[in-house]
């Protein structure tokens, strides 16, 4: 609709920023299975809560996608299968035809960076009250970088939700958008734990 990559990136980033402030004190503001898994690996999240959180994230994503599908269906000629419905993809389904390896690498690296920022900004030694801003801006940057490559996932729940409504190639390629963000989240959490431990030792 003319807002371009910058508009889409800001929409994702500002959504996470505002919702982290709105519900962060209730649930920790988890909207992403890769984040929950990364925080568990990083020692910031109880493993017994992991499955319920992931189920809630995926169900919430599907509900949101269903609402968007219903709204978008009000446009004459709308076809989720043909348009892609903002699904994540690689190869011929990448916005700029990036390969599977490119998609895998960028999703791993950017999710790792995302987890590193989340853990750093929510550390007890970080300035209080600013974490959602850092996290939202980081997600905005991630989208600006990776929309041309994969349409940006870094969130398996988001990828699953729209893939269901696309209904064909997006489901076939969905595995990458679970594997890569989860691997990236774990890497980011472990890197932050290492850096954080070094900082504590130095202090």
What pLDDT, on a 0 to 100 scale, did the predictor assign at position 197? Answer: 83
Does 203 reside within a domain?
no
What pLDDT, on a 0 to 100 scale, did the predictor assign at position 3? Answer: 83
Which CATH number covers residue 101? 1.20.1080.10
Does 83 reside within a domain?
no
Distance from C-alpha of 106 to C-alpha of 192, rounded to nearest angstrom: 19
Does 169 reside within a domain?
yes
Q: Residue 44: name the closest of 126, 108, 100, 164 by CA.
A: 126
What pLDDT, on a 0 to 100 scale, did the predictor assign at position 146? Answer: 98
Does 80 reside within a domain?
no
201 pLDDT above the threshold of 70: no
Does 34 reside within a domain?
yes
1 pLDDT above the threshold of 70: no
What pLDDT, on a 0 to 100 scale, did the predictor assign at position 86? Answer: 93
Three-state SS for 97-148 is CCCHHHHHHHHHHHHHHHHHHHHHHCCCCCCCCCHHHHHHHHHHHHHHHHHH
Burial (CB count within 10 angstroms: exposed 0-12, middle 13-18, buried 19+), residue 93: buried
pLDDT tens per residue, range 44-70: 999 999 999 999 999 999 999 999 999
Q: Average the pLDDT over 175-203 and give the result.
A: 88
Distance from C-alpha of 165 to C-alpha of 147, rounded to nearest angstrom: 19
Number of domains in the chain: 1
Does 9 reside within a domain?
yes
Distance from C-alpha of 5 to C-alpha of 146, rounded to nearest angstrom: 10
Q: Which domain holds residue 119?
A: 3-73+88-196
For 4, 39, 60, 71, the CA distances from 123, given in Å and listed in that order, are 34, 12, 27, 39
Q: Average the pLDDT over 135-139 and give the result.
A: 98
Does 105 reside within a domain?
yes
Instruction: Report the mean per-residue pLDDT for the chain.
Output: 95
202 pLDDT above the threshold of 60: no
Please give the model's pTM, rounded to 2 decimal places: 0.94
What the block records as the tokens of 44 is 């910031």
Does 79 reside within a domain?
no
191 pLDDT above the threshold of 80: yes
What pLDDT, on a 0 to 100 scale, did the predictor assign at position 145? Answer: 97
């Amino acid at each position: 609709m003319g807002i371009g990559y910058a508009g889409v990136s800001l929409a994702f980033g500002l959504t996470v920023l505002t919702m982290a402030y709105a519900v962060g004190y209730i649930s920790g503001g988890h909207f992403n299975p890769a984040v929950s898994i990364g925080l568990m690996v990083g020692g910031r999240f109880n493993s017994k809560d992991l499955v319920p959180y992931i189920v809630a994230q995926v169900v919430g994503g599907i509900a949101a996608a269903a609402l968007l599908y219903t709204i978008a269906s009000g446009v004459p000629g709308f076809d989720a299968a043909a348009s892609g419905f903002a699904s994540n993809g690689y190869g011929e389904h990448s916005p700029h035809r990036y390969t599977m390896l490119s998609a895998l690498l960028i999703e791993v690296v950017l999710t790792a960076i995302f987890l590193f920022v989340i853990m750093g900004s929510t550390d007890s030694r970080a300035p209080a009250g600013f974490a959602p801003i850092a996290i939202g801006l980081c997600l905005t940057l991630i989208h600006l970088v990776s929309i041309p490559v994969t349409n940006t996932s870094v969130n398996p729940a988001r990828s699953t939700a729209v893939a269901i409504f696309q209904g064909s190639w997006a489901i076939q390629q969905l595995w990458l958008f679970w594997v890569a963000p989860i691997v990236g989240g774990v890497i980011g959490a472990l890197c932050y734990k290492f850096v954080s431990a070094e900082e504590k030792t130095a202090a």
